[in-house]
Amino acid sequence: MSMRVYRLLFLALVLFSSCRKDNLKPEWDADFLAPLMTTRISIQDLLSDTIVQSESDGTLTLVYESLIGEIYLDSLLIIPDTTIGYTASLNNLSINDIIFDYSISLGSIAREDSTLNGPNGGLYETIMTAHNTGLPTHIQAIDPMTFDNIALNAGDYFQTITLENGDLEIRIDNHFPLIMTNVIYELKNSVGNQVLVRDTFLTILPNTSETHTHSLAGMTLENQLSGFVTLSSLGSPGDVSIDTSYALTAQIEVKNIAIQSAIARFPAQEILSLNQTADFANNDIQLTRAIIKEGMTNVVLQNTLGEAIHFSFEIPGAKLNNIPFLIQGTLPAGTVSNSSEVSLSKDLSNYDIDFKGIRPFELIEGDLNGNNMVDAPVDNSLYYKLSGSIDSSGNFINLSQSDFVSAQCSFQHIKPAYIKGYFGNMQKDTTGVTTFDLFPDIDIDGASFAQARLFLSVENQIGASAAMHINTLRAINTQNGQSALLSGLAATNPFMVTSASDPNSLAIPVTPTMNVLELNEQNSNIQQLVSVLPNTLEYNIGFELNPGQNPPAPNTGTDFAYDNAHLSCYLNTEIPLNLSFTNLQIHDTAISDLQSLNTENINYGNLVLYSYNLFPFDAVVNLYFLDSNQVLIDSLSASPILVNAGIPSQNGKVLTPYVTKSVVPFNSIRLENLKQTRKIKVTGKFNSAPPSQHVQVYNDYFIEFKLVGDFNYHIKP
């Protein structure tokens, strides 16, 4: 076939395809029933979920708990920031005792006599003959003879040293068979020629020794000392054997050195050792134990000594996993003008700290703080140990009175998770205003309750007894301005609150004690307070810990508190819902989104409101449609819709809801109004029925509204 035929065929296909009438739009009207909205109002909805309690018989009790005062002890039971400091000058730094030895032999005396008097016929000859022959010989008296060649070298100990204190001890041993008399000695600095000591031993018998001690306080010693010895003798008491090696020996010892300044070599030694306590003054609280929730310890040490100091700071009474708190380290060498410093911090969290001071440790270890006794029991006291030592480097160290080593330990921002002791007679007031939403968001002209009970309950999580004072409790109805102030014994007498029990564990919550005081006609004017239908309570509540108790002996306090421990005071209300009321009004406004409603195809119709009422309350309800400026556009019904109360059966309970059908015609204009609606205001007014007669309310009562659209709809597909 030719292309013309194909074209014709294709054209025909398209033409016939176009014959379909896809766009046909027939129209018709149909009647539709559509549930639009449903809501059920229970007594819980009317009075708030939290305050209505069902009883076993189905009746209801209005239970309302209003917190009217609460005191946390966190701000009171604190461990204050505390700093302890210790500065030690280093004049107690010790160096080793300095010992020199010096001797004069009998040979030396013989030679000195030979020098002075010649070798013949004199002392020299006598001594040497006796020495050589071995025959006992009598030695005649010896005239004073001076030996000025004493030279002592202390360069191994120091270069120079000024003594705060010190002794020079000279001991002379006479190994001559001679009676020595008038032994004079002198010791002086070789360079400065300052005489350090000059002394005389009057008589030293053969084979005996004599010792003299001299104070060196305030003196400066050079490392090179010189001196002389002058001696004389009465001779031997008879014939004696002579040996020229016999000697008069002297031992010179510088000891008990307290340094004022020095350039010296210091031996390894402990230069700091403290066993002291830090007091955490905390008003009249007697703290014996605390477990720390958070907090820091910071130790700052300074050193001017030219030797590194090994330090250790320990709090034996602060333990974590049974390991005592310990900070240790090495403080580098410093100078007077530029002291070295080390600052170390350590977290105290979770440490269990004993605040009973040094006594518990002294009971085991004996006196620790050097007062030669076991200290008496104390509280608020923290025992700590600070020690420091140096090694011997062999270097000469320049030490002056300006040298020091210091330690400063601070306890900062300590918040306890648990404290124990005695909390004193702490007093605290709390003042405030709290809502008392017995009928939240409801206006009510008047209500009468068949029975009402009020309780004041105090919940105590603290391990201490307390007394509560109701200084002020005023019930206020802000809507009508009425108020009443609590008076009577309940307001004047303190209410005793018992202590909680210590679970002795941070993981186990403290079970608070509940202390309940019923406010009744005998102890208060409570009915007067109830009658104002308060919505606000104004209060001033005071608490006193350990009322009437004297402080216990140290270490015996049993009060405790865990973190966030508090005392709370509640006003509990129990009102059986057997009541009558008038004009209980509710109203609320909701944002609506009805503009998306497809109402343009609705020809006409009705809104039908079905009401199912089990409450023994008459109600009048309505919905108001408002624009965005809250201006009334329309309402569900021109006049409020009456919903009759449910009718009680013979036993007084409503078993079958009263059904009310309210038909509200809607035309296209009213539907357009509905679309313009931006807010819907719901109003309702309830009156118990019969009027002025108490009616019992049960937990299964409700009123249910169902809004149904009954529309004739124009369908145009």
Q: Give the nearer residue to other proteins in terms of CB position, either 491 or 594.
A: 594
Q: How many residues bind other proteins (CB under 8 A)?
A: 58
* Interface stretch with other proteins, choices 166-174, 179-187, 235-243, 680-688 (CB under 8 A): 680-688
By CB under 8 A, name the one of 263, 320, 597, 647 that touches other proteins. 597
17 in contact with other proteins (CB under 8 A): yes
Q: SS3 sequence, 523-560?
A: CCCHHHHHHCCCCEEEEEEEEEECCCCCCCCCCCCCEE
By CB under 8 A, name the one of 84, 680, 689, 697 that touches other proteins. 680
24 in contact with other proteins (CB under 8 A): yes
Say how far apart CA 54 and CA 39 lie, in whole Å: 22
Structure tokens at 140: 């005649």
CB 258 within 8 A of CB 165: yes
Structure tokens at 480: 């009508």
655 in contact with other proteins (CB under 8 A): no
Say how far apart CA 442 and CA 449 lie, in whole Å: 17
12 in contact with other proteins (CB under 8 A): yes
By CB under 8 A, name the one of 205, 274, 452, 682 that touches other proteins. 682
434-463 residues near other proteins, rule: CB under 8 A: 441
Structure tokens at 333: 């060498």
156 in contact with other proteins (CB under 8 A): no
By CB under 8 A, name the one of 4, 26, 121, 481 that touches other proteins. 26
By CB under 8 A, name the one of 46, 278, 378, 689 that touches other proteins. 46
Q: Which residues pair with 314 in a beta bridge?
A: 326, 385
Say how far apart CA 137 and CA 123 lie, in whole Å: 11
Q: Residue 547 class from Cβ within 10 Å (0-12 exposed, 13-18 middle, 19+ buried)? A: middle
554 in contact with other proteins (CB under 8 A): no
- The distance of closest approach from Cβ of residue 598 to other proteins in the complex, given in angstroms and rounded to an integer, is 8
By CB under 8 A, name the one of 7, 33, 373, 632 that touches other proteins. 33
Q: Give the nearer residue to other proteins in terms of CB position, either 566 or 675.
A: 675
By CB under 8 A, name the one of 16, 57, 75, 507 that touches other proteins. 16
Element (H, E) at 83: strand 82-89
Element (H, E) at 518: strand 513-519
Q: Give the nearer residue to other proteins in terms of CB position, either 254 or 643.
A: 643
- The distance of closest approach from Cβ of residue 620 to other proteins in the complex, given in angstroms and rounded to an integer, is 14
CA distances to 440, 446, 610 from 45, in Å: 10, 19, 19
**Residue 4 DSSP SS3:** helix
Say how far apart CA 64 and CA 205 lie, in whole Å: 109
Say how far apart CA 372 and CA 370 lie, in whole Å: 5
CB 651 within 8 A of CB 658: no
Say how far apart CA 634 and CA 660 lie, in whole Å: 22
- The distance of closest approach from Cβ of residue 280 to other proteins in the complex, given in angstroms and rounded to an integer, is 51
Say how far apart CA 296 and CA 287 lie, in whole Å: 19
* Interface stretch with other proteins, choices 36-44, 54-62, 190-198, 535-543 (CB under 8 A): 36-44
2 in contact with other proteins (CB under 8 A): no
- The distance of closest approach from Cβ of residue 43 to other proteins in the complex, given in angstroms and rounded to an integer, is 11
Say how far apart CA 188 and CA 186 lie, in whole Å: 7
508-537 residues near other proteins, rule: CB under 8 A: none
* Interface stretch with other proteins, choices 41-49, 65-73, 247-255, 417-425 (CB under 8 A): 41-49
Q: SS3 sequence, 109-130?
A: HHHHHHHHHCCCCCHHHHHHHH
- The distance of closest approach from Cβ of residue 408 to other proteins in the complex, given in angstroms and rounded to an integer, is 59
CB 482 within 8 A of CB 529: no
590 in contact with other proteins (CB under 8 A): yes
By CB under 8 A, name the one of 164, 186, 627, 710 that touches other proteins. 710
121 in contact with other proteins (CB under 8 A): no
326 in contact with other proteins (CB under 8 A): no
481 in contact with other proteins (CB under 8 A): no
Say how far apart CA 545 and CA 532 lie, in whole Å: 34
- The distance of closest approach from Cβ of residue 660 to other proteins in the complex, given in angstroms and rounded to an integer, is 12
Pick from 175, 176, 173: nearest CA to 139:
176
Q: Give the nearer residue to other proteins in terms of CB position, either 343 or 589.
A: 589
- Whether a cis peptide bond, with omega within 30° of 0, leads into 690 is yes
Q: SS3 sequence, 672-709?
A: HHHHHCCEEEEEEEEEECCCCCCEECECCCEEEEEEEE
By CB under 8 A, name the one of 489, 593, 650, 669 that touches other proteins. 593
Q: Give the nearer residue to other proteins in terms of CB position, either 258 or 620.
A: 620
706 in contact with other proteins (CB under 8 A): yes
State the Cα angle at 358 between 352 and 361, rounded to 5°: 80
633 in contact with other proteins (CB under 8 A): no
* Interface stretch with other proteins, choices 27-35, 101-109, 352-360, 450-458 (CB under 8 A): 27-35
By CB under 8 A, name the one of 320, 485, 594, 633 that touches other proteins. 594
Q: Give the interface with other proteins as residue ranges (CB under 8 A).
A: 1, 9, 12-14, 16-22, 24-39, 41, 45-46, 441, 586, 588-594, 596-598, 608, 610, 680, 682, 684, 705-710, 712-713, 715, 717
